[in-house]
Amino acid sequence: MLIADDHPPFAEGLSRLLTEQPDLVPVGIANDGEEAVRLAQQLKPDVVVMDIAMPKLNGIEATRRIKRDLPNVAVLLLSAYGYYPYVLSALEAGGAGYLLKNVPLRELMNTIRAIQVGETVFDQAVAEKLLRSLANPLSTDYVTSQLKPREIEVLRLGAQGLSNKDIAKQLFLSERTVQSHFTSIFGKLGVGSRIEAVLRAFKEGWLTMEDLP
C-alpha cells in the first residue's frame, strides 16, 4: 500500500498504524502528487491512500494518471471536505473510495480492505447527498440553453471562492454585471446557489479539477 499525503505527521502516523495490521502493509510514502504517481509506477501497490489537496499535482489528477497506467491499482481518496465536485471528480478519475479525513481508524482500515477486493466505498453522508443531487434531472429548458463562455468563466471563478467584487475586478466587469451573470446561470441550470451551479457544471464537464485552486 502506498500513502500519499503532504502532511508528514499524518502520513507517517497512518503508516505506523497500518503496519500493525498484517494484511495492510505500507510500501512507501509520497509527499506530493507527482511523487505519488512515480512511486505507484515503481512499487505497483495494490492500494493507494491519496490525499486530494497536495502540491505539484492534486490527488484527483494523480489518481487519473495512476489508473491510466495501472488500472488494477485501487485508489482511496481522503479529504477534509465532502465537497461534491471533489467527489464527482474522484469517481470520474477512477477512485475506488472517498472518505473524510476525520473517519474513525477502524472504518478507514475496513474501507482499505474492501477496495482491495474490488468494492467501491464512499463516505455515507457525502454519498447520500451526492446521489440526491445526481437524481435531480436537467430541465428541458436547460438542455436547450447551455451556458455562454462568459457565464462559464464567471462560474469558474465563483468555484474558486472569489466574491462578486473579485470576479468583477478580474474580468473587468461591474459587480452588477457579475450578479446578472449568476442570475442567468442559476436560471439556466435550475438551481438557487453557487454550490449547486458548480456541481451541475462539474457533472456536465464544463468545469474540471484544473479549474479549482
CATH number where 144 lies: 1.10.10.10
Q: In which region does residue 161 sit, left (phi positive, over 0), alpha (psi from -120 to 50) or beta (all else)?
A: left
**110 and 95, same structural domain?**
yes
Q: At 116, is the secondary structure helix, strand, or coil?
A: helix
- With cut-offs at 50, 70 and 90, classify the pLDDT of residue 212: low
**144 and 129, same structural domain?**
no
**77 and 162, same structural domain?**
no
**201 and 128, same structural domain?**
no
pTM: 0.64
Rounded Cα distance between 190 and 199, Å, is 12
**40 and 106, same structural domain?**
yes
Summarised one tens digit per residue, pLDDT across range 46-103 is: 999 999 888 888 898 899 999 999 999 999 999 877 766 677 778 778 888 889 888 8
The C-alpha cell at 191 is 438551481
Rounded Cα distance between 194 and 160, Å, is 11
Of the candidates 157, 146, 150, 158, which has an alpha carbon nearest to the alpha carbon of residue 187? 146
Q: How many domains, the chain?
A: 2
Rounded Cα distance between 16 and 12, Å, is 6
**101 and 19, same structural domain?**
yes
Beta bridge partners of 51: 78
The C-alpha cell at 64 is 487519473
Rounded Cα distance between 177 and 45, Å, is 51
**182 and 206, same structural domain?**
yes
**130 and 45, same structural domain?**
yes
**128 and 37, same structural domain?**
yes
Q: Which of 134, 150, 174 is the last residue of a domain?
A: 134
**188 and 128, same structural domain?**
no
User: pLDDT at position 28, please?
Assistant: 95
**89 and 12, same structural domain?**
yes
For 150-166, what is the mean pLDDT? 87
* 153: containing domain: 140-211
